[in-house]
Amino acid sequence: MIIVLKPQSTKQMVDNFVDSLQKNYDVKVNEWVGTQSTVLGLIGDTSAIDIDYISAQDIVESVKRVQEPYKKANRKFHPDDTVITLPGGQKIGDGSLSLIAGPCSVESERQIVEIAKSVKDSGAQFLRGGAFKPRTSPYAFQGLKAEGLELLREARKVTGLPIVTEIMRVSHIPLFEDVDIIQVGARNMQNFELLKELGRLDKPILLKRGLSSTIEELLMSAEYIMAGGNEKVILCERGIRTYETYTRNTLDISAVPILKKLSHLPVIVDPSHASGISWLVEPLALAAVAAGADGLIIEVHNDPQHALSDGAQSLTPEQFDQVAKHVNAAAKAFGRKVG
């Protein structure tokens, strides 16, 4: 940590500040005096130091971290890729391309089972589907809730596909006991109470990036889960909020190689939510594969025109079949492991 002091600081003030730093933290402080300002360099484990605390000091002009504030999610301390393995043997992050597909919302047994069979035939290894739905309007369809989870289990029984579904509330955790991968949505990425509780589980968590969260904040939210003991975190880039209005969000494709460099966790991309437009799903999915994503999560609906939510970005099963063919061909061309 580097601390730039204000130009007008006296030697006495600097000495007192240095003393207090060395007394309160397990660090050594190096000091050098410039023509305009004095700068301090803190050596040791600075991750316990609150950067806001330092900034608040009268004597401090600005502060710069040298170490990243996350540890368990940091590739520096864990150079090998994390591979998430499910009880059924499916893997995410092992060099293959994982395809997660299914409807935005579970609507009926027939709907979810039919879609599950179809996406499996097209090569998806995981089934997604929302039972509890975060909706901007209190008057919009909020999902089938517990019944939706039941229908997902039914679809899993029929197809063998592990299920991925979103949680919105700590008290629902028992309902998600036999869900294979629990999803945390963008709006809950900094619902720290939820993250803490999920950190106590032994189950993969698919953590979506918040609408305007930085890459570092996403990694800090992963750190919340991992700090509790659950290191099975899958990161998901799903578009960020910008001034551009043509798309619902702006896919931050750079986040894929950056997250892979900074962290050992698997990184997947959601081209459906990133754009909000079904015809953009294929080019964005291909771009994600090209940029090194470990997987894709794609919305598929057997009848997008009557979907109860997010129809505009859903593919039909036939469209998904084409997209799956193309992304798998691309993955192969990029030398990715293909089942």
**Interface pick for a copy of itself out of 18, 97, 149, 220 (rule CB under 8 A):** 220
| Interaction of residue 123 with a copy of itself, rule CB under 8 A | no
DSSP string, 109-163: HHHHHHHHHHHHHTT-SEEE-BSS---SSTTS----THHHHHHHHHHHHHH---E
Between 37 and 154, name the residue whose CB sits nearer to a copy of itself: 37
Q: Contacts with a copy of itself in 32-61 (CB under 8 A)? A: 32-37, 39, 41-44, 47-48, 50, 52-53, 55-58, 61
**Interface pick for a copy of itself out of 95, 140, 318, 325 (rule CB under 8 A):** 140
Between 40 and 161, name the residue whose CB sits nearer to a copy of itself: 40
Q: What are phi and psi of 280, to 5 degrees?
A: -90, -10
Q: What is the nearest approach in angstroms of a copy of itself to the Cβ of residue 293?
A: 10
Using the contact rule CB under 8 A, the part of the chain among 108-116, 118-126, 147-155, 311-319 near a copy of itself is: 311-319
| Interaction of residue 173 with a copy of itself, rule CB under 8 A | no
Strands 27-33 and 38-44, bridge-based pairing: antiparallel
Tokens at residue 47, please?
């991750």
- Residues pairing with 175 in the sheet: none
Q: State the number of CA atoms in the 13 A half-sphere of 198 facing the CB.
A: 35
Using the contact rule CB under 8 A, the part of the chain among 86-94, 117-125, 154-162, 210-218 near a copy of itself is: 210-218
Q: State the number of CA atoms in the 13 A half-sphere of 83 facing the CB.
A: 10
Q: What is the nearest approach in angstroms of a copy of itself to the Cβ of residue 136?
A: 5
| Interaction of residue 279 with a copy of itself, rule CB under 8 A | yes
Using the contact rule CB under 8 A, the part of the chain among 85-93, 148-156, 200-208, 216-224 near a copy of itself is: 216-224
Distance between CA atoms of 339 and 55, rounded to whole angstroms? 52
Q: Are 60 and 54 in contact (CB under 8 A)?
A: yes
| Interaction of residue 246 with a copy of itself, rule CB under 8 A | yes
| Interaction of residue 184 with a copy of itself, rule CB under 8 A | no
Q: What are phi and psi of 194, to 5 degrees?
A: -65, -45
Tokens at residue 199, please?
């950190």
Residue 235's nearest CA partner among 247, 214, 248 is: 214
| Interaction of residue 234 with a copy of itself, rule CB under 8 A | no
**Looking up tokens 């000495």, which residue turns up?**
15
**Looking up tokens 């190689």, which residue turns up?**
257
**Interface pick for a copy of itself out of 101, 115, 284, 298 (rule CB under 8 A):** 284
**Looking up tokens 């700068």, which residue turns up?**
39
| Interaction of residue 9 with a copy of itself, rule CB under 8 A | no
**Interface pick for a copy of itself out of 214, 318, 325, 337 (rule CB under 8 A):** 214
Q: What is the nearest approach in angstroms of a copy of itself to the Cβ of residue 57?
A: 5
Using the contact rule CB under 8 A, the part of the chain among 77-85, 95-103, 155-163, 250-258 near a copy of itself is: 250-258
Distance between CA atoms of 196 and 221, rounded to whole angstroms? 9
| Interaction of residue 8 with a copy of itself, rule CB under 8 A | no
Q: What is the nearest approach in angstroms of a copy of itself to the Cβ of residue 189?
A: 8
Q: Contacts with a copy of itself in 257-276 (CB under 8 A)? A: 257-258, 261, 274-275
Please tell me whether residue 181 adopts helix, strand or coil conformation: strand
